[in-house]
Structure 1
């Protein structure tokens, strides 16, 4: 059992099934854990539950927000809460300077608050360890969606993977394992060479409008506008597009609707399709981050 968090007060604000794995792990490591946004649950036996964000963060050296973060008004994802969980300027202005605030991805306002109020903001969604470990449930969740939504099998279909980063690599490997005819689309020569060496067909983004017309399913992992109206117009009418990039994704969804292409935005799949696995990732990573930033 990992230790090293003795004497550290940790506030957990909202969350979902992932936090039900993380919170007990923090307590086992010795932290004094206070949470808001949860009713009494067996997983939280012995954990202090409070009704307000202000009550949770009072005296905390560490504040943990969910991986999906907040909306622009500071409302936190809190699937078990009976009332809205919201972070406010008034509450966060009272955090002690140097307080560690951990979140998946922060909105600009939270980054501004960190500079103004002096708390340390750590965004973990793109940390290598988190991103690599989360790539597996993301890829498996994307395939699950595709299997439900396609009228054909993955086996033998023409599948395009846009981007060959952490998620793109795992997804391409899984598709090839199911015998999809897999094409990787990337910008850099190094990524295209790596994809070719792994046995996939390859396509540069500049050639995408000419090549995408054979795709029956397209998975986008690029958080930039890559599936523009011009590119979408070149797709098959029956194509399925699953956009895995963080909101707003890399797809022109308005153009997709106009062209009658089926396109769905599906960020945050680890917590939706494999919350136990995703929770174990957080339980492995967050205590280490706290230890590294303590003292």
Structure 2
């Protein structure tokens, strides 16, 4: 239980509601920032702003999956107000206060370092990434079905990247009868693709391999699909880029060529926010309990 632990939950989307619900059930004391338009009531949760919440009382700050932008602004679908996490506010939280986020940027990392706060990037964890790969794969299927006029069964598909997300997507597409190829530079990942009966090759071969493909699914957050590679694709090829922003595709050139290229980061929060929220909430609750036990041990 998280009794008497004061947690500030800041901004976000529908996934945050599952986090609020879970931590409320664990008897945490919750302060909600960026939820002024939320009608739901949660036991032990009160709405605040950074101006009305005393930072000295906060044991943990929970940011949404998207973290914050380079100006410190935190997105929230439950507020029309601009929500900015300022270093001055964070600096006034206790030394044991932990900053939890889905992903981070240099601003957040530097802010945590300068204020002496521990930063936990949830989406760097294998467990969350693997759990999240399931709704990501389902969302990818949805986008392929909605944006093509052929069946997945029998279609020729490349999945670029064969990490925690790419592996689940490739396995799901193959199970539906697609001819799936894997592009990855890591030899061990290509070996795993071979074991799963999928042809694989390094990224440098993409220019030759894309010539007859119906669908490309990119999971690599780096510019993989350059103008040179896109120029080799058939015009009917669909690209679904699920890598984090800005993705791994030259979207400007794709549009110029008439290739439909869709940037779709955060699919779990779009297609299955309740499930995606529960995944994060369960892991976060465990981490907060560990934090609480560490604090108790340090105070004993």
> TM-score under structure 1 normalisation?
0.94
Displacement after TM superposition at 1:40 (Å): 4.5
1:139-150 map, 5 Å: 139-150=137-148
- 1:28: which partner in 2? 25
- 2:94: which partner in 1? 96
Give the SS at the match of 1:159.
strand
Cα distance, 1:45–1:176 mapped onto 2, change above 3 Å: same
Cα distance, 1:95–1:209 mapped onto 2, change above 3 Å: same
Q: 2:65 aligns with which of 63, 67, 76?
A: 67
Using the alignment, how far apart are the partners of 1:172 and 1:105 within structure 2? Answer: 24
Q: 2:205 aligns with which of 201, 207, 227?
A: 207
Using the alignment, how far apart are the partners of 1:40 and 1:77 within structure 2? Answer: 14
Say whether 1:15 aligns with 2:12. yes
- 1:192: which partner in 2? 190
Give the SS at the match of 2:110.
helix
Displacement after TM superposition at 1:96 (Å): 2.3
- 1:83: which partner in 2? 81
Displacement after TM superposition at 1:112 (Å): 0.7
Deviations 1:141-175 (A, max 9, x none): 11111111112111111111001111111101110
Give the SS at the match of 1:74.
coil
Using the alignment, how far apart are the partners of 2:54 and 2:214 within structure 1? Answer: 49
Give the RMSD, CA atoms, in angstroms.
1.5
Deviations 1:52-77 (A, max 9, x none): 12434631110000011112112212
Unaligned runs of 5+ in 2: 296-300
Displacement after TM superposition at 1:293 (Å): 2.5
1:1-295 map, 5 Å: 3=1, 5-38=2-35, 39-42=37-40, 44-56=41-53, 58=55, 59-294=57-292, 295=295
Q: State the aligned residue count.
A: 291
Displacement after TM superposition at 1:177 (Å): 1.4
Deviations 1:181-206 (A, max 9, x none): 11111112211111111011222212
Using the alignment, how far apart are the partners of 2:67 and 2:25 within structure 1? Answer: 25
- 2:298: which partner in 1? none
Conservation of the 8 A alpha-carbon contact between 1:13 and 1:56:
no
Displacement after TM superposition at 1:111 (Å): 0.8
Give the SS at the match of 1:125.
helix
Cα distance, 1:57–1:14 mapped onto 2, change above 3 Å: farther
